[in-house]
Structure formats: C-alpha cells, structure tokens
Amino acid sequence: MTSPRIVRSRAELQTYLREERRMGNSVGFVPTMGALHEGHAALLRKASVENKVTVLSIFVNPKQFGPKEDLAKYPRTFEADLKIAAESGVACIFYPSVEDMYPKDFRTEVKVKELGEVLCGAFRPGHFDGVTTVVLLLLNLVMADNAYFGMKDFQQLTILRRMALDLAHPTCIIAVPTVREGDGLAMSSRNRYLDARGRDVARAVPQSLAAAAKLFLAGETSAKALCAAARRVLSDAGLEPQYLELRSTSTLSEVVTVDEDAVLAVAQFVETPTTPCRLIDNVVFSKEAELQQILRDLISRSK
C-alpha cells in the first residue's frame, strides 16, 4: 500500500497528470467533498480496478451550499480520508483551496436546465448549478478516461450525465450502486450528525423504499400505490418526507405508471440534538436483473 501523492493546486495536478499520460496510463477520477466512508471507498476501488491510476479530489465546494446550509459545519477529516484513499488504491489526491478553484475573477456558471429544478433542486435553489460548475471544472482539469459517481445522489448523477452528453465531454461517466449500512441506511457523510435516537428513526427511510420495492417486484406499477406504501412506513415512524416522488431515471419527469426505468426518490429530515439532518435516498425500479437484485438486497437489509 503506497501513500497517495497529495497535490494542492491546479498547476501541480496538471504536471502530475502530464507525466501519467506520457507513460500511457489510464486515469480514473472520483470527485468528493471528503469525510470519506465505505460509499466513497466503493467508487475508489472500482476506479482503481478499471484504471491504471486513480485521482481522488477532496473539495468542499462552497458554490453548492445555500446561505442557510451547513458549509462551515461540513465535516473535514483529511487524515482519516488519506487512510481510506491509500487503502482504496488512490494514486493522487487533488486537495485544492477555494482560491485555487475559484480565483477572484471567476465568473462562469454551468447550468443544466430543468433537471436541477425538481426533487432536491426545488428545495435547494442553485445547488445543482454549483455542482455542475465544480464538476465540469474538475472533469476538465483531470481529463480522466472514467469518472465515478454514486447512485445515492441519483439526481446529481442524471444531471452530470446530461451535462457530459450535451457538452461532449470525453470522460465516461460511470454510476456506482449505493453502499448501505447493515440495516439499509445509505452511507452518507452527514450520518455522523445522527445521535442514537436519530439513527434509529433514520432506518425508516430505507425501510420505506424497501416497502415500495417489494410491491414493485410483486408486479405493482402504479406510482400512486408505490409512493403510498413508502409514505405509510415513514408516517408510522412519525416522519413526513420533504419529498417522495417517482420519476423517470433519464428525464426526471413525473411517472404515473412504471413502464420504463423509474427512480423513487426521498428526502427526509431527521431530528438531532443540534440541527435536523437531511437524508436523501432512492431506489430504481427497472426490468434489468442487476437493478432488481439491488432491490432484493435492500429488502433483506430492511427487515
């Protein structure tokens, strides 16, 4: 296990990558905000298997946080991240400063229309413009062969796929299934805000998706019925979601019956001793065997 090289500036990153390219090495890229966990590690391991070198970026992007959101409080755990990166085969960590990413004359904003206005976008105005701006900048800096994103942030993945396609970006966007705790809770850097009670309540989120998944696998295709089953589990746990909706995986438009791939997406606030913790999660309803296996796995964890 070799320790990853840490590069702190755009210029240093490009020097490093020029040398890797000269040697003919393929490059995999995993952009993150740090506070790494097993979910990030799954992306890093996949990148390391599929590419000669893996570049991890750690950058808490101020442009994707709203004025009332947790930017200052976002967990920063560089030493622990370094250990996970080394164990996951990362060759290089790009760890830039805000000033290096956004010099004072920076004026550009990247926007994918419509897709960023529904689901999370309806409650976090401008969030996805911040995501697309930083991710396109990072993709341009790294010019990787492959870049890896988690299905946990399904709307983000859909928007980034659209952006890469529309703007003919040469990097291949690769989706990685959500990594979950034993009881089904999707791993997230924000889970560390939950106390024991909040952690217990949070289980209802994957359980609600599992209830809908069970119905889907039994042949139910009505969005109304699938959403109602999920909602019932949340309300039994005393929860009311910020949103819970079934949408097309490609266009994010609302779905009435599942006749092509659809995503059931949920956002749920869970109380903590300090500020409420916002959790997001989703499941994909599809005829594809691999995606159905993911549903069965979630159902068995959520019992």
Instruction: Name which of 176 and 244 has its Cβ closer to ligand AMP.
Output: 176
User: What is the Cα–Cα distance from 113 to 291, expressed in whole angstroms?
Assistant: 28
Instruction: Name which of 126 and 222 has its Cβ closer to ligand AMP.
Output: 126
- The span of 118-126, 183-191, 215-223, 242-250 binding ligand AMP (CB under 6 A) equals 183-191
And the tokens for 245? 């909706």
CA of 39: how far to CAs of 67, 100, 244, 278, in Å?
A: 27, 27, 23, 17
- Closest residue to ligand AMP using C-beta atoms: 150
Instruction: Name which of 176 and 266 has its Cβ closer to ligand AMP.
Output: 176
- Are 171 and 144 in contact by the 8 Å Cβ rule? The answer is yes
- DSSP secondary structure code for residue 285 in this structure: E
x/- string (CB under 6 A) for ligand AMP, residues 93-132?
----------------------------------------
CA atoms within 13 A on the CB side of 177: 13
Say which residue the tokens 């976008």 belong to: 121
- Are 141 and 265 in contact by the 8 Å Cβ rule? The answer is no
User: What is the Cα–Cα distance from 44 to 150, expressed in whole angstroms?
Assistant: 11
3-state secondary structure of 294: helix
Instruction: Name which of 175 and 228 has its Cβ closer to ligand AMP.
Output: 175
What is the footprint of ligand AMP within residues 29-68 (CB under 6 A)? 32-33, 39-40, 42-43
User: What is the Cα–Cα distance from 291 to 286, expressed in whole angstroms?
Assistant: 6
* Least distance CB 42 / ligand AMP (angstroms): 6
β-bridge partners, 150: 176
Instruction: Name which of 178 and 286 has its Cβ closer to ligand AMP.
Output: 178
- The span of 88-96, 112-120, 184-192, 213-221 binding ligand AMP (CB under 6 A) equals 184-192
Tell me whether residue 40 is one of the annotated catalytic residues: yes
Q: Could you say which of 29, 128, 149, 285 contacts ligand AMP (CB under 6 A)?
A: 149
- Are 129 and 109 in contact by the 8 Å Cβ rule? The answer is yes
* Least distance CB 97 / ligand AMP (angstroms): 18
What is the footprint of ligand AMP within residues 188-207 (CB under 6 A)? 188-189
Q: Kindly determine how many residues on this chain lie close enough to bind ligand AMP according to the rule CB under 6 A.
A: 17
Q: Please count the other Cβ atoms lying within 10 Å of the Cβ belonging to residue 136.
A: 17
Q: Which residues are catalytic?
A: 40
Query: Footprint of ligand AMP on this chain (CB under 6 A)?
Result: 32-33, 39-40, 42-43, 149-150, 152-153, 176, 178-179, 186-189
